[in-house]
Structure formats: C-alpha cells, structure tokens
Amino acid sequence: MENRKPVIHRYQNGKLTLELGETVQEFALLLQVNGRQIATLVSSPHDLRQLVVGFLRLQGFVQSIADFDLLAICDDFGVANVRIKGELPDQLRPVLTSGCGTGITFTLPEAPTGMICPAGQPTEAATIFSLMDQLNQLTERYSTHGGIHSAAAGDEQGLLLHCEDIGRHNTVDRIAGEALLRGIDLSGKLLMTSGRISSEMAAKAAQLGVRLLASRTSPTDMAATICQQAGITLVGYVRGGSFKVYSRPEGIITPIG
C-alpha cells in the first residue's frame, strides 16, 4: 500500500502557507469467505488480520481460531481470502449501521437472548479514569493527524489490548480479533472507547462478555437499553474527573446521590 503524502495548506492571518502533515489513511478490504464475497470493510490499513477475525467472530461465523482453515490477506489488491469450517447462511442480509462511513452487520443489534454478562466486582471510578487516561496516551495515530477512533480492553491492573481505526465500530472488531488471536478472555473486563456508543457497539460488547463499557462521548438510547438487558454498566462522557452512568449504576463503587 502506498502511503501518499498530501499537499496541505493552512489558512491563517489572511494567507495560505504550505506545511508538512499527514491525513488519516482509509483502506477498502474485500472480504471473501468460503468463496463468497460477503462485505467490503472500510478501515485503517494496519493489522487487518485483527479486523477480519474480529468481524467474523462478532458476526457469529467463528468462535475460535480452530474454526479457520485459511486466513490470507493481500494488501496490494485489498482482498482477504478466508475459509472457515462450516457454511455461511444461504441468505446474508446486510444491515447498514450508524458506524463512521456506515458500518455493516448481518444481524440486527440486540442483547444476546438469555445472556447476562458476568458482573464481577463493582468498578472503582478511579479505574475508569485510569484506563481512559492510558488509552489517551496510546492513541499514536490520533495524536499525529486526528480523524481516527480508539478502543481498549483492560481491568484493574491496566490495559490488555488497544487499537485505532477510522471506524469506531471497527475498533471493537479489532479488540475482539486480537483477543481471539492471543487467547485473551474478555469476559468480565472493561471496554473503553473514544467514540459514540451505538446499539451495534453495545451488542458487540455483550457478545464479548465485558462488565463495563465506557466512552469519552455519548451513548444512544438503544445502547443503554441493550447494556441494561445484558448486565453491562454503560458510562459516557468520561472526562475532566466526571462521567455519566446510563445503565447498571450498581456496577460503580461510589455513593449515588
């Protein structure tokens, strides 16, 4: 993949001046599974194995690395060729999501039927602030040129995984994919994200079994409903020493006023 350096001009004090800089990279990856073209994933161009594995995991097509017979990604042609055990459904009905650039899923977001995420110990507010601060410090691409989202998973001891992508929904797929590749169980962990938490992101968090989902910005009403049903504490606007809790406040160790 060619990393093009764009010509950038800055308007300031009534004139345009040339400056050095970068723009966020965007990459279209055609996903072929068992010989079928099922989706084009629009994402950042790095670590595409994580994205593909996580996407297929959260669509319910695979559950473990043993479910893959082939996972080959050609960066030059923008194609991921995957063979998995078992067959895909005869009819795949894509659902356009609210993700950046419009994400795609093959199932409408909802809390997994009969599933309640493991509650574990309630979470200290200090842990939420600490994990979000750690994520902020690791957002290398955002610090360089902006225009990109981030996510991380961790616990009271610190972050276990983190990633960046132009699509906020892609960041959760990447976390799910890396966790599967590295054999990390996210059940009962905390999931942090930089972007708005929508219904599909809440549903993915429920599939991963996290006990708390937090963002620097806002959740939607459907996300709050899904998290409440799934037993997930949903936290928004984590900034400046404060946050808002939208579901399961009992998951936070703090007096409720």
How far is 85 from 160, CA to CA, in rounded Å?
Answer: 29
Neighbouring-strand partners of residue 28: 42
Active-site residue, 100 included: yes
| 37-40-42 Cα angle (round to 5) | 165
Alpha-carbon separation of residue 4 from 20, 22, 166 (angstroms) = 13, 9, 17
Contact indicator for 177, 50 with CB cutoff of 8 Å: yes
81: Cβ–Cβ under 8 A, 6 or more apart, which residues? Answer: 32, 70, 72, 73, 74
Helix (H) or strand (E) segment spanning residue 116: none
SS3 12: strand
How far is 2 from 98, CA to CA, in rounded Å?
Answer: 29
What sign does the CA torsion over 212, 215, 218, 219 have? negative
Out of 100, 117, 163, 227, the active site residue is 100
Closest CA to 165 of 206, 137, 128, 193: 193
Question: Which residues are identified as catalytic?
Answer: 100
